[in-house]
Homo-oligomer: A and B are copies of this chain.
Amino acid sequence: MNTDSPISTRRDRKREEKRQAIVAAAEEVFGAKGVADASMSEIADLADVAAGTLYLYFSGKEALFFAAFAKRISTLFESTHAHWEANGPLRDRLAEVVRLHLSFVRTNRGFYEFLMTLGHPDHTSPGEFSPLIELCDSQLSLQTAAFAKAQANGEISDKLAPEFLSRALRSLAFGMVTDAVNRRKTEDLESVVEPLVELFWNGISK
């Protein structure tokens, strides 16, 4: 039966679709609750599959979490990439990136929590995380390059290493979430973005 290949292609497509559906559900649930508080059946329900099915696509809870994390963080990074590669004044691009980070953390507390532990030295098996770490690293390069170029142009001060700037930007944006503590009104993104960019911009200007 030479229909094998087409059939398996159709199958593969279906399989891939289901996989996506599962990851999407996992993104939703893990993002909102974090690994520990999310349950596999909850994800299965949302993905509209049986609980057992999850294990046909992922080896366990952790693996599924990793996949969901990778997906979400990639999505974020793709958006920031677009801005870094665009033209226009650096300050404006900074603002966009800050905005993206801020809103990411808002709806992805579960992943942000994990982000904090990714590089933690007392992880039992740091090896497992390396793909995720690389993923996160990769995004930084682009940012770093943008800062380097701006320093070369004389657009900003070159007193601080571009790599540091890149990391600091991300940290500042992500970190502002703790702000929720004092404000309890995380809704108005803009009232945070602008001063943040202003501060950062002053910090790096000549």
Contact of A119 among B36, B170, B180 (CB under 8 A): B180
Docked CA distance A171–B200 (Å): 13
With A37-B36, A157-B202, A203-B200 in contact, do A119 and B181 touch (Cβ < 8 Å)?
A: yes
Docked CA distance A197–B195 (Å): 17
With A112-B116, A164-B195 in contact, do A171 and B178 touch (Cβ < 8 Å)?
A: yes
Report the contact-size class of chain A (Cβ under 8 Å from the partner): 35 or more
Contact with B along A1-43 (1 / 0, CB 8 A): 0000000000000000000000000000000101011000000
Interface centre among A120, A164, A199, A201 (most CB of B within 10 A): A199
Please tell me if the beta carbons of B198 and A160 are within 8 angstroms of each other in the complex. Answer: yes
Please tell me if the beta carbons of A109 and B115 are within 8 angstroms of each other in the complex. Answer: no
CB within 8 Å of B: which A110-126 residues: 112-113, 115-122, 126
